[in-house]
Amino acid sequence: AIKCRIGPSILNADLSQLYQESQRLLDNGADYLHLDVMDGHFVPNLTFGHPIVKCLRTKLPNAFFETHMMVSNPEQWIEPMGEANVDLYTFHIEPVLSDVLKVCRKVKEAGMKVGLALKPGTGIEAVRQYIDHADMILIMTVEPGFGGQKFMQDMMPKVQWLRQNYPFLDIEVDGGVGLNTINACAEAGANMIVSGTAIINSKDQRSVIASLRETVES
Ligand code: DX5
Ligand code: ZN
């Protein structure tokens, strides 16, 4: 079967200690870091951008970084994120519908893998024609913008459809994923698991990460 990977979202961590929090997640078994970049336009919230990702990279030269670009103009940040040696650049297709292929190409030229993200209201048909140009598809299971929201079970048919048609595709879920909702994600066929508050707010990060992994791998 396809490899399962757990990527904690640091959105709700103590961001004044971004490096320490990231290192702790990696020490506790995280396979990669899911870095939520928000611009206050595409979503009604702000986080951080490439200057901070670059700083984090100097402290964590070998960690796998995914940037989840919740921004209106994903093309604008490709170059600096490439310079930060981001591994996987995941952008939402909604603001760039007519330019998805162009953005995919630029992301690859900048040396990064391409992730295509869908908001809950975006149907799978919107991304179908681009799947062969992407390394990963992210099915959002909350409205992007904030951590700690309720998991949307009704997104699982999108994951199922992708898994049925693309047995080897990396499929990521993000939003409200924790010990109570991981079963649904695993059954639908997701293999890249983002989890924010469920890991960050837990007293035992290591055991939450291990349990998530166990459920997806079984
Ligand atoms: C939401 C972000 C998520 C979020 C996940 O807009 O994209 O990555 O931080 O947090 P939880 O797991 O708490 O929903
Ligand atoms: Zn995210």
Q: Hey, where are the domains in the chain? A: 5-217
| Distance in Å, CA 198 to ligand 2 centroid | 13
- Give the CATH class of 5-217: alpha beta
Judged against a pLDDT cut of 90, whether residue 64 lies above it is answered with: yes
Judged against a pLDDT cut of 80, whether residue 178 lies above it is answered with: yes
For residue 80, the surrounding DSSP H or E stretch is: helix 78-83
What pTM did the predictor assign? 0.98
Edge-to-edge strand ranges of the sheet holding 113-118: 5-8, 192-195, 170-174, 136-140, 113-118, 88-92, 65-70, 33-38
Q: Enumerate the known binding-site residues for a divalent metal cation.
A: 34, 36, 68, 174
| Distance in Å, CA 11 to ligand 1 centroid | 7
Distance separating alpha carbons of residues 134 and 112, to the nearest angstrom: 11
Mean pLDDT of 146-167: 98
pLDDT at 67: 99
Partner residues linked to 118 by β-bridges: 139
Distance separating alpha carbons of residues 182 and 173, to the nearest angstrom: 10
- Closest ligand 1 atom to Cα of 68: 7
- Which residues form the catalytic set? 36, 174
Q: Enumerate the known binding-site residues for substrate.
A: 9, 68, 145-148, 176, 196-197
Q: How does residue 162 score in pLDDT terms, banded at 50, 70 and 90?
A: very high
8 A C-beta contact, residue 151 and residue 141? yes
E strands in the chain = 5-8, 33-38, 65-70, 88-92, 113-118, 136-140, 170-174, 192-195
Taking all residues of the chain, what is their mean pLDDT, rounded to a whole number? 98
What pLDDT digit, counting tens, does each position of 41-50 carry? Answer: 999 999 999 9
| Distance in Å, CA 128 to ligand 1 centroid | 24
ipTM field: 0.99
pLDDT at 143: 98
Judged against a pLDDT cut of 80, whether residue 84 lies above it is answered with: yes
